[in-house]
Structures are given as C-alpha cells and as structure tokens.
Amino acid sequence: MIKNIWTNTAGILISRVFGFGRDLLMASVLGANIYTDIFFVAFKLPNLFRRIFGEGAFTQVFIPAFSSSKHKISFGTVIFWQFFSFILFLSVVVAVFSTVATTIIAVGFDKATIDMASPVVAVCFFYLPLIFVVTFLASILQYYKHFATTAFSTALLNISLITALLISRQYDKLDIVYYLSVAVIVGGFAQVFAHLCAIKNLNIKVWTTNIKKAKNRYKHSKFYRQFVPAVFGSSASHLSAFLDTFLASFLSFGTISYLYYANRVFQLPFALFSVAVSIAIFPTIARYISKQEEQTALTYMRKATYLVAGALSVATIVGIVLDDFIVELLFHRGEFGIVDVINTANILSAYMLGLLPYGLAKIYMLWLYSKERQKRAAVITAYSLGANIVLSLLLIVPYGAVGLAVASSFGGFVLLYLSLREFGFRKFYKLIMK
C-alpha cells in the first residue's frame, strides 16, 4: 500500500508542479480578467467531469464490479462502449449548442462575453471523451496494481498547455485562449496514448471485438444503479468549486480567475495526500470488506486517517499563515498585479479552512463505497452542497468571492460530520485511539 501511495503522490506532485508552472505562465501572460475567465469557464465543465471520473465515481464502482464479473473482458467492453458513445454524443451536442451551454455554465456573462466564450467551450468539451478513455484504461491498470502510468501521465495536459502559452504569448489575448483550448485536446490525446502504451506493454487484453457476444454475457445490471449516486457522492469538493464559479460569474470580471488560482493552491495538498491515499487504499479496503475481514480494512483506514489528518493539518496552517506569500510567489508577475495577489490570498485562506474536513471526508466516504452504499454517500453529499448553497447565497453579497470560499469550507465540515456519523462516531473514536 505504501508503495502505491508514494507512486500516486509522486505522480500528482510532478503534475502539480507542471500545473503551477502553467498557472504562473498564464497569470503572467493573461493576468486575471475577462480572457482568463473565459478559458476557466470553458475548461471548468470537462475538468469537473475529469475529476469526478478520475478521482471518484467510475473507478469506485467499476473496480468492484469488474472484480466480481465472471466475464471481465465482455463486461469491460460493454461498459466502455456504452459510456464512450454517450459522452461523445454529449460532446457533439455541446459543440452544436455551445452558446446555450456557455450560458448555463456562466449565467452572469453578458451576450458579448458568451459569444467570445462559446467557441472555446465547444472545443474544450471534446476533452471529456478523451479523458473517459483514460479513466477506463486507468481503472483496468489499477485492477492489475499498476498505478504509475495514470499518476505521471496527468502532467501531459499541463505540458501541452505550457507549450501553447509559450507559442502564443505574443498574440492577441483572445487568440491565446483559442490556443489553450486546442492544447487541452492535444493533452487529452497524449494521455490516451500513454495509457494504451502501458496496456500493450503489460499485455493486458481490454476489449473484445465481438460486441454481440459481450452483450449476451453482460449481466451486471446493478452497475448503473450504483454509478449514478456515486457520481454525486464522490464529488463534493469539485461540485462546490463549480458552484463557486457559477455564482462568481455574477461578480466583477477577474473574480472567477481569483477563485481558480486560490482553488489550485488548495487542490495541491488535497490531491497529494487525500486523493493519492484514497486511490491507493480503496482496492485493498474493498477487497477485505468483500471477504468479511472488516478489522483488517479498519487497520488500513486508521493508517490513512493519521497520514491524511497530519499532512493536511500542517498544510492548512501554512496556507492560512502564508497566504499572501504563497500567492505572490506563484503568480505575482506580468499582468497579475498586487491587487490580484491580495484578492486571491483572501480567498485562499477561506478555502484552506475546509482542507482538513474535505480530505478526511474523502477517506471515510470510501467505507460507504466499499460496502456498496453509493446512494447513502449521494444523500450525504446533497446535504453538504445544500448547506454550501444556502451559505453562499447569504455571503455572496456582503463578502463576494471570499464569502463563496467560506461557504465551500463550511460544506466540507458538514460532509465530514455526516460521513463520520454514517461510519459511527464510537467506531471512529476507537479507531483513532487504538
């Protein structure tokens, strides 16, 4: 388990280093204005789906179902083509009706801004079918205990975006945004290629060409009954960030960018520790739960709790105390001025309040998924988002984007409380005091 955690952590760290290089360059070239807002809005929806799929729902439902299936290749083939066909169709619909899609994503944008953003939304959304292919292949590789390709290949998207920024940095700002949208697709193809190479090198058979025979063998009808609530239940922090972007579109230009840059800093420790640990321990916990060896599964939960709690507590303190220094160090150059630094730092502090609860909640949600209680996880997430929405609406007028970030953190505390209540407070106390 430790090896898998370190593999995921190292891969995520490398990806985030390239990601911060991308954000540093983007802040310098574009700053925080209408153009960065357009790109972040366009990339927000496919990126949201990427995080839900890659860090949550699909893997958490697919791996147990794949493990228990008697005809694994047939099962995987049917699931892949059903998902891929739907997602590709959805991407085409978004491309054709990109103006409508942009209006839904960013209601607060005026018509002129929507007209500029809609072509970018149309292009970026085609990242979604590509990243589904990556997620599917990554799930297969995880089943065979291969984590390295998925962990390290995430850097390819950031490398593609950095290259686009370097090529187009002297161009008109709207043209730079167009270059970035194309780079998103290039990065997606690069990730697919890396996973296909890993599958080939490991000599793993993934698909069968006999689709009709695969459908006849496909008997796992409960997959979708588990998947739909899992999508919602595994994505609280990401849906919260998406809600912030939606509401921020009603505020002044640049606000969406401030939220994005602050959330990027927040996501670094969250991904390095909570996401990396959850990806590494989930197959193990699910396997022991299925074998009725709950005490062994609890041992792994205890280790994960201490690791995540310790790391995220330190990260929270550092993020709040050094908020101005972190933002200035990362982004204060070129078009990103001192006012942008102050605004982003204030939002960062508010976001960091929710780092520990979101991180621990992700670990304890795994317990529900291992016991195939995806519907309950979805209900818990709904309560958390409901609390977030109510507080966001109360705080957005007096406090603006900082109020949105505070509401997001509050939603994290609600999520953790409900997750622990479902796990059992007495069981949790015995676990941490062992």
| pLDDT tens-place values along the chain, 434 residues long | 566 667 777 777 787 788 778 888 887 888 777 788 888 878 877 776 666 665 566 777 777 777 767 777 778 888 888 889 988 998 999 889 988 888 877 766 778 888 888 888 889 889 989 988 998 898 888 878 787 888 788 889 989 999 999 999 888 888 998 999 999 999 999 999 999 999 999 888 877 666 665 555 555 556 777 776 766 655 565 666 667 767 877 777 778 888 888 988 998 899 888 888 887 787 778 778 877 888 898 999 999 999 999 999 999 999 999 999 999 988 887 778 899 999 999 999 999 999 999 999 989 988 887 787 877 888 888 889 889 889 999 999 899 889 999 999 999 999 999 999 999 999 999 898 87
Token digits for 192? Answer: 């697919």
Q: How many CA atoms lie within 13 A of 388 on its CB side?
A: 28
Those residues with Cβ within 8 angstroms of residue 335's Cβ, 6 or more apart along the chain or in another chain = 27, 28, 29, 30, 31, 32, 33
Q: What share of the chain is helix, strand, coil (3-state, %, to 5)?
A: 85, 0, 15
d(C-alpha 279, C-alpha 152), whole Å: 14
Those residues with Cβ within 8 angstroms of residue 254's Cβ, 6 or more apart along the chain or in another chain = 32, 33, 34, 36, 37, 340, 343
Q: Which residue has the tokens 């083509």?
A: 81
d(C-alpha 79, C-alpha 330), whole Å: 42
Cα 163 from chain centre: 23
Those residues with Cβ within 8 angstroms of residue 290's Cβ, 6 or more apart along the chain or in another chain = 64, 67, 68, 370
Q: Which residue has the tokens 């505390």?
A: 413
Residue 277: name the closest of 363, 364, 388 by CA.
363
Sign of CA dihedral 331, 159, 2, 290: positive
Those residues with Cβ within 8 angstroms of residue 342's Cβ, 6 or more apart along the chain or in another chain = 324
d(C-alpha 126, C-alpha 123), whole Å: 6
pLDDT of residue 429: 92
d(C-alpha 274, C-alpha 305), whole Å: 9
Instruction: Please provide the size of the chain in residues.
Output: 434
Cα 322 from chain centre: 25
Q: SS3 for 30?
A: coil
312 in Cβ contact with 356 (< 8 Å)? yes
Work out the angle between the directed axes of helices 294-321 and 338-352 (0-180°, nearest 10).
150
d(C-alpha 349, C-alpha 266), whole Å: 9
Residue 132: name the closest of 180, 191, 183 by CA.
191
Q: Give 424's DSSP letter.
A: -
Cα 408 from chain centre: 15
Q: Which residue has the tokens 């101005």?
A: 324
pLDDT of residue 196: 93
d(C-alpha 322, C-alpha 382), whole Å: 33
Q: pTM above 0.75?
A: no
In angstroms, the Cα distances linking 187 to 16, 64, 154, 228, 359 are: 15, 29, 9, 28, 28
H helical segments located in 97-172:
98-105, 111-124, 127-143, 148-153, 155-168
Residue 154: name the closest of 115, 126, 188 by CA.
188
d(C-alpha 336, C-alpha 32), whole Å: 6
d(C-alpha 417, C-alpha 29), whole Å: 42
Those residues with Cβ within 8 angstroms of residue 423's Cβ, 6 or more apart along the chain or in another chain = 364, 367
